[in-house]
Structure 1
Amino acid sequence: MINYHQQQTRRQLFGQSALGLGTVALGSLLTSNSQADRSNPSGYAGLQDLPHFAPKAKRVIYLFQNGAPSHVDLFDYKPTLKKHHGEQIPDEISGGKRFSTMTGGQKERPVLSEITNFAQHGECGAWVSDFTPKIAGIADDLCFIKSMHTDAVNHAPAITFFLTGSEMPGRPSMGAWMTYGLGQGSKNLPSFVVMTSRDKEASCGQIFYDFYWGSGFLPSRFQGVKFRGQGDPVLYLSNPQGMSREIRRGILDDLAKLNEINFAEMGDPETQTRISQYEMAYQMQMSVPELTDFSNEPKHILDRYGPDVHRAGSFAYNCLMARRLAERDVPFIQLMHAGWDQHRNLNTQLKVQCIDTDAPSAALVRDLKERGLLDDTLVIWGGEFGRTPFLQGKIENTSTWGRDHHPYAFTIWMAGGGIQPGVSYGSSDDFGFNVVENPVSVHDLQATILHLLGINHERLTYKFQGRNFRLTDVFGEVVKPILT
């Protein structure tokens, strides 16, 4: 330790001189904002005043459908579309609206009928497409929000908006905010886990940017940990040849002491991140192999998720992993499945996407319910916007039917965690074009999610560049009618 202090580098000298009292202030701020257990560096107990009130949900599973599922083909039944199929959509409905460059200059906007068949399901009588029969089978457990709307018309900004509260990258993601506020749920697994997947044909898939689960200006210890879809979910789970677990434990303990000295002198929160991540990596060497071992899962459970459940990296596999993570008290689980961007192949690709996602999504909800976990687990299913009720292209080209991005009205569904089951909230007009009843914005949804976790969205803030930031920016109202 004496040698450590004597061997001060030029960079350290300038860094300490420049920071001065600011370093002390930052260290004080970090101490006052957290209840970190120094005897267990991987542990983080969250902010002292949280939760603000009794939560109804302990964890969130967000099934994010990248590319935007077509609401009028899946969950928002509009007979008017079939009645006016091929006709120009009325100007009073679509006039003056902004779309992507793919239809922004398109003069003809013919109404495109739904390409699926709808029927009512459950005691609630929810209208659900025949492309999603398994989701239809759990309709009485779901809350369909049919009045979602957003500001963005392109994928990356729209996804970023949903997951971070801003269309521009750089803000903390929802899972990072939750982990920062409420702390770590599991000592052996990350508090924020992300898994990604694509459709079987690997077509029209969106890019998975790291900032979708990033920590933004929060310390990086709060960013999501992405599990890989091939090989080991996490790299370097095994010790190098010749290194025992006992030797690794000793190295980590010594490294933690050195990092604690560095943190005490410099006050850099990323030093604490290194301490916690080294410790978490050590714990995951034991927890992850057990997590990914499906050998004890009953056959009827595996069959429920579908045949792809055995293919690592598939949406079905990730959904079962999500249930197993929920059982192990991981607070925020974010699954992202790409392939819904159906501009020219709606009549072929939509069914592929539904085959990939329908059974696993429903199986996850049923699985959680049977294990008594759904009551305090909030499940969210939806994309970044919907698809246009009019056709992109010409009605005669039946082999290339598709729909453009549609931010003005679309549908998501939620289940468990304090959400009323078997209800539909809000509505769009007869064409599924504009919201006409109980509009729900992206910030309203975020405020509602935080509320269910026991967080007042206006009070969960972080000061950065002289301003107190929050997930919902300066907007957002809790959607109280959908709460139990």
Structure 2
Amino acid sequence: MLNRRQIIQSALAGAPLINSQLFADSAKKAGPHFAPKAKKIIYLFMAGGPSQLETFDYKPQMKKMFDKDLPDSIRQGQRTTNMTAGQSRFPIAPSVYNFKQHGQNGTWVSELLPKTASMIDDLCLIKSMHTDAINHDPAKTLICTGNQLPGMASLGAWLSYGLGSINPNLPNFTVLNCAKWSGKVNVQGLYSRLWGAGFLPSHHQGVNFQAMGDPILYLSNPKGISRNQRKAMINLSDSLNQEHFNKFGDPEIQTTMAQQDMAFRMQKSIPAVTNMSAEPDHVKALYGPEVNIPGTFAYNALQARKLIEADVRTVQIFHRGWDHHGHLPKNMAGQCRDVDHACYGLIQDLKQRGLLDETLVVWGGEFGRTIFSQGKLSQSNYGRDHHPRCFSMWMAGAGVKKGLVYGETDDFSYNIVDKPVHIRDLNATILHLMGLDHHKLSFPFRGLDMRLTGVEPAKVIKKIINS
């Protein structure tokens, strides 16, 4: 029972102490609502908004409309960003890249993604994604946390809260930020709130691995401090924290104790799971030539497989540089080269180890790009503005139908004409595949039952799920 002093202290500090105590009871009930099809997830986030027109949404009719204005009947008065709002024209820019049909269903894939094309029968391609936000920050925050405003819990944090941990010696939710990528212009920032816990207890937040030095900050003991000394320090800290908890009852004190103990255990578990030298050359070859360079997407993709194999539930890789307002053909080629081989390697490696049957893999960014050019247009050079009305993503692995193309856009890749999928639907589907009902997965905060999918309608995309 909280006394008046504790309640006042909680209110002044802005801490959801009462809600945290409610969590202390509900945390014991963590587990799926029904039998899951996937136990783990790897989310490959292409930050900046990859162009669907240069990857998966083939529009051959646009070649005949080069430099013609986008018809008003297609644009329908849609607002644009400030970057193109002042343009007097919206000239159509057909993709300069060729597409070919691949797989049993003849799925069209760009020449920029040859390795991805070769495994298209393993993927479920969704071409009818759409979102509410037109700028990067709110769009990334929305797809990662279910809300455009900061302060909400991320997908990985919700999975940790709803399902609990598999391996007590490793973080339940890990984040791998690529420090190296081909595109060096219009690089959007990444913020810890994209993998944060928000209003959930803080131990559910993602643990960000570093590209250089210790994989996790302060993993190594300071010089002159032995492991036995470190353990003695943690034991003393735990005893003092326990006294403080007995007095005030704040469950965040228990979170601190648990995280300190986890950090101590990780000093043994993390070096083992991040040791790339143990991987044979034939496995590394699956991921491409950059697999040995820390900070690359290929390196992180192999690291993701190792973490999944070690029973980390959620791994999220962020790869930046996809914001192509100008010089798109050149920059897009480099970005696709960064990820194409490694995506292929990741799927094949998971498959050969029997891990793909229990692991869901998701690829995509925060929105798509416009068919019209931003700025100057030529036969070989153009840029594309942000486009939230339609974009492409793919999923693979546990519970997802293989070789399926779901949804369709119009001839301009501007509006969805069949099977629209909002990002709330995507998140609801991911939760469903992990055994969680998005209506039931909630947390009391500020008088509301907070959910990843919010209060607006969201539906599970049942037609992409194996029965």
Distance in 2 separating the partners of 1:231 and 1:449: 33
Cα distance in 2 for residues equivalent to 1:469 and 1:236: 33
* Matched-pair contact (CA < 8 Å) for 1:23–1:267: no
SS at 2:83 equivalent: coil
SS for the counterpart of 1:119 is: strand
Question: Any gaps of 5 or more consecutive residues in structure 2?
Answer: none
Q: Return the TM-score normalized by structure 2.
A: 0.94
Aligned mates of 1:284, 1:174 — CA distance in 2: 23
1:23, CA displacement in angstroms? Answer: 10
**CA–CA separation in structure 2 for the residues paired with 1:429 and 1:30:** 46
Q: Which amino acid aligns with 1:435?
A: I
* Displacement of 1:257: 2.4
Alpha-carbon distance in 2 for matches of 1:76, 1:24: 48
Partner residue in 1 for 2:246: 264
Does structure 2 retain, via aligned residues, the 8 Å contact 1:26–1:267?
no
1-structure distance, mates of 2:97, 2:44:
22
Per the TM alignment, residue 91 of structure 1 is displaced from its structure 2 partner at its CA by: 0.9
User: Residue 32 in 1 paired to residue 14 in 2?
Assistant: no
Aligned equivalent of 2:72, options 52, 71, 91: 91
Match for residue 477 of structure 1 among 443, 453, 459: 459
- Partner residue of 1:78 out of 59, 67, 70: 59
State the SS of the aligned residue for 1:341. coil
Could you say which residue in structure 2 is the equivalent of 1:60? Answer: 41
Which residue identity does 1:63 align to in structure 2? L
TM-score normalised per structure 1: 0.91
- CA contact under 8 A between 2:21 and 2:251: conserved in structure 1? no
Structure 2 counterpart SS, 1:390: strand
Match of 1:412 in 2: 393
Distance 1:357 1:363 in 2: 10
Match of 2:150 among 154, 158, 169: 169
Q: Provide the secondary structure at the position in 1 that maps to 2:389.
A: coil
Task: Find the counterpart in structure 1 of residue 325 from structure 2.
Answer: 343
- Equivalent pairs counted in the alignment come to 459
Q: Provide closer, same or farther for how the CA distance between residues 364 and 23 of structure 1 changes in structure 2, counting only shifts above 3 A.
A: closer
Q: Does 1:326 align with 2:308?
A: yes
Alpha-carbon separation, structure 2, partners of 1:399 and 1:231: 42
Distance 1:14 1:418, change over 3 A: same
User: Are residues 1:375 and 2:368 paired?
Assistant: no
Give the counterpart of 1:289 among 271, 286, 297.
271
- Corresponding position of 1:42: none
Is the contact between residue 182 and residue 331 of structure 2 (CA under 8 Å) also seen in structure 1? no
Hey, what's the Cα distance between the residues in 1 that align with 2:448 and 2:20?
A: 19
In the TM superposition, residue 28 of structure 1 has moved relative to its aligned partner by 5.0
Equivalent residue number for residue 313 of structure 1: 295
| Paired residues of 1:23 and 1:266 also in contact (CA < 8 A) | no
Structure 1 residue 345, shift from structure 2 partner: 1.4
Distance verdict in 2 for CA 1:295–1:384, change over 3 Å: same
Seen in structure 2, the aligned counterparts of structure 1 residues 480 and 24 have a Cα distance that, compared at 3 Å, is: closer
Q: CA deviation at 1:24?
A: 9.5
Counterpart position of 1:218: 200
Match of 1:18 among 4, 8, 15: 8
- The SS at the match of 2:371 is coil
Check if 1:358 corresponds to 2:340: yes
Q: Tell me the SS of whatever aligns to 2:421.
A: coil
2:402 counterpart residue number: 421
Instruction: Establish whether residue 181 from structure 1 lines up as the match of residue 171 from structure 2.
Output: no
Q: State yes or no: 1:387 paired with 2:377.
A: no
Are the counterparts in 1 of residues 48 and 320 from structure 2 also a CA contact under 8 Å?
yes
CA distance in 1, matches of 2:19, 2:44: 37
Q: Which residue of 2 aligns with 1:232?
A: 214
2:445 aligned with 1:464, yes or no?
yes
Cα distance in 2 for partners of 1:24, 1:147 equals: 41
The amino acid of 1:454's aligned partner reads G
Deviations along 1:121-140, one digit per CA (max 9) or x if unpaired, are 11121110010101011100
Q: Unaligned regions of 5+ residues in structure 1, if any?
A: 1-12, 36-46
Aligned-partner residue type, residue 274 of structure 1: T
Separation in structure 1 between the aligned mates of residue 394 and residue 21 of structure 2, nearest angstrom: 42
2:258 is aligned to 276
Q: What percentage of residue pairs aligned between the two structures are identical?
A: 48
SS in structure 1 at match of 2:302: helix
Match of 2:411 in 1: 430
| Paired letter, 2:90 | R
Deviation at 1:15, TM superposition (A): 4.7
The CA distance in 1 between the partners of 2:450 and 2:443, in whole Å, is 5
Q: Select the residue among 431, 446, 453 that pairs with 1:450.
A: 431
Contact in 1 for aligned 2:16/2:445 (Cα 8 Å): no
Q: Distance in 2 between matches of 1:383 and 1:69?
A: 6
8 A Cα contact 2:130 2:422, kept in partner = yes
* SS of match in other structure, 2:128: strand
Secondary structure of the 2:277 match is coil
Q: Distance in 2 between matches of 1:16 and 1:142?
A: 52
The answer as to 2:97 corresponding to 1:116 is: yes
- Match of 2:400, as an amino acid? I
How many Å separate the matches in 1 of 2:22 and 2:163? 17
